[in-house]
Amino acid sequence: MSWWLPWIGTVGLGAFLAFRTDLAGISRAALGASPVWMTLAVALYGLDRMIAAAKWRMLFTINGSSRMTVPRALSIYLRAGFLGSVFPSTVGMDAIRIHLARREGRVSLSHSGGSVIVERWLGVFGLIVVAGAGLGLFGPRERWLDVGAALLVVCAVVLLALIFFVSTPMRARQHSRYWIERMLRFVGELQKSVRAYSDQPGLLLAVFGLALVQHGLLIVINWILALALGLSLPLTLFLWLWPLVLIAIRLPLSVLGFGVREALLYGYFVAGGLPPEEAVTLGLLSGALDVLFIGLGGILTLSGSPLRLGRVPTGESPAP
């Protein structure tokens, strides 16, 4: 079900929206989008990908244990996005990114995995902060308590998961099966890799700041997409609405967020008396940006261009 659920969610919600909206109206809205605004949105999304690669690179190259340039980190990001696009949420993408970075950076699997885990946790906390701030400052007061309570629950779950992962000892017991022993040993190494970042508070703060910048940029990008469709919606609306959309599409309920994203926008647009066709079109254009850069990752992957992250500094040996 973990494999089929996202496809069921996307197809099911897509069928519901197709039944409730005018498909011809969606097509007209998409074809009528302003090319100038669309070009700006694509350019800013490229900048967003570069920021994402840069903040992960900062964590990956901790203590100089490995070298990686931002372009190479971006290439790994894009290739992992292509290879992991069929998996639920971002889990598959992250797993492939860990593998690519480990192989090309000549570092341990726990080091590569720790950098991705810490980056994701900081990104999730940043998204919760942006969503809470936007909702508290600009959100609808009559529904703030319901949505705000949900955000607090999400934040608590993420925080408890972090505390449990970092603090719970994972020791292999005697007479355990071989694969269980290996798994527990690897989780223990992964915990050590994650704990190592606690000695770098300045690095964590810098990466968290970049995560906030990245989330803010995504909000602006999707506001620009609304402008491309001729929608006169205030930016303050997107400051609380879009972070909630970003949180929802991270749940493993759809493929690349398609269906969930459009359904949330449809619900808000209908409640606000706005055209539902523009809501679905806005969601589809936002998802199309993801697909565009996943396609770029596919080109990099299929071209077979070698990526080497640089030699290990003289006097140092690669991590096992």
In a domain, 315, yes or no: no
Does the predicted TM-score (pTM) go above 0.85? no
**Residue 237 domain boundaries:** 20-303
Please name the residue that has the structure tokens 């901790």. 62
CA distance 203 to 97: 21
CA distance 233 to 315: 58
Three-state DSSP class for residue 88: coil
Give the pLDDT of residue 253.
78
CA distance 267 to 274: 10
In a domain, 31, yes or no: yes
In a domain, 267, yes or no: yes
In a domain, 320, yes or no: no
- What are the tokens at 194? 């994650």
Taking only the tens place, the pLDDT of each residue in 97-135 is: 888 888 776 777 888 888 888 898 899 888 888 888 888
In a domain, 8, yes or no: no
Taking only the tens place, the pLDDT of each residue in 169-195 is: 655 555 456 566 667 777 777 878 888
In a domain, 319, yes or no: no
The tally of domains found in the chain comes to 1
In a domain, 173, yes or no: yes
CA distance 119 to 122: 5
In a domain, 163, yes or no: yes
DSSP 139: S
Give the pLDDT of residue 147.
61
**Residuewise pLDDT in 10s, the chain (320 residues):** 556 777 888 899 899 999 988 889 899 999 999 999 999 999 999 999 999 999 998 888 875 556 778 888 888 888 888 887 766 555 678 888 888 888 776 777 888 888 888 898 899 888 888 888 888 888 776 665 666 666 667 667 767 776 666 666 655 555 456 566 667 777 777 878 888 888 888 889 999 999 999 999 999 999 999 999 998 889 998 998 898 888 888 877 788 888 889 998 988 888 777 888 899 999 999 999 999 999 998 888 888 754 443 433 333 334 43
Give the pLDDT of residue 313.
39
Contact 36, 227 (CB under 8 A): no
